[in-house]
Amino acid sequence: DLHGTHVVITAGGTREPIDAVRVIANRSTGKQGYAIATEAVARGAKVTLISTSDLPTPFGVNLVQVETAQQMMDAVNTEAKSADVVVMAAAVADVRPVHAAMHKLKKDPLTGLICDLGSIELEATPDILAGLGKCKPAGQVLVGFAAETENLVANAQSKLERKGADLIVANDVSQAGVGFAHATNAVTLVARGTEPVEVALADKRSIARSILNAVVAIRSARTN
């Protein structure tokens, strides 16, 4: 049911350099994004996977390797122009150092603290999902993710409207077996004009199937 479509998927957590060895990062492993890519190929899609992860590339997937939020945004903006579906499953770091040191910042031998670390100036990373929502081509389905620890549905509905997405995949990462690093996940699918759909704890390929079922339903509703 995705035959002939181009699906762009992001996966993993971006890493923003502090110096030559240290980064600002998050807990995302990319497992859910890779499961979505695998499922999309199985359903006939042409899949471009933009990833920071070192997981094995799924069969039939075109991999674009990136590291930082800026690199991910540049790759997504290039690929999204021809995409029928964009799934932003990656966890993009919220901030980055304004200036990354080209060398390793050394520790003070007396205090054990990293010299100059306290003076690192941070800035917000680009909001990739919001940017995609503002310039979304006609007919494209845009999917965002929301990792939450409270007010799951309310936060997902707010994100749906603010980012211009068609579907938000929300999960409560404070729950056992849910979210980062786990082989399983449980999500709530929040789409425009429909009631939220809860998907119970399952392996991430099964979760991917539910997400793409929702994408297909959105596409079908537009053609009927």
Q: Which residues are catalytic?
A: 26
60's tokens: 């039939």
Q: What is the DSSP string of 137-151?
A: PTT-EEEEEEEESS-
**Alpha-carbon gap, residue 199 to 206, rounded angstroms:** 9
All residues at 6 or more sequence positions from 202 whose CB lies less than 8 Å from its CB, including other chains: 184, 185, 186
Is residue 157 classed as helix, strand or coil in its secondary structure? helix
Eight-state DSSP code of residue 86: E
Phi-psi region for residue 95, left (φ > 0), alpha (ψ -120 to 50) or beta? beta
As a whole number of angstroms, the distance between CA 68 and CA 52 comes to: 8
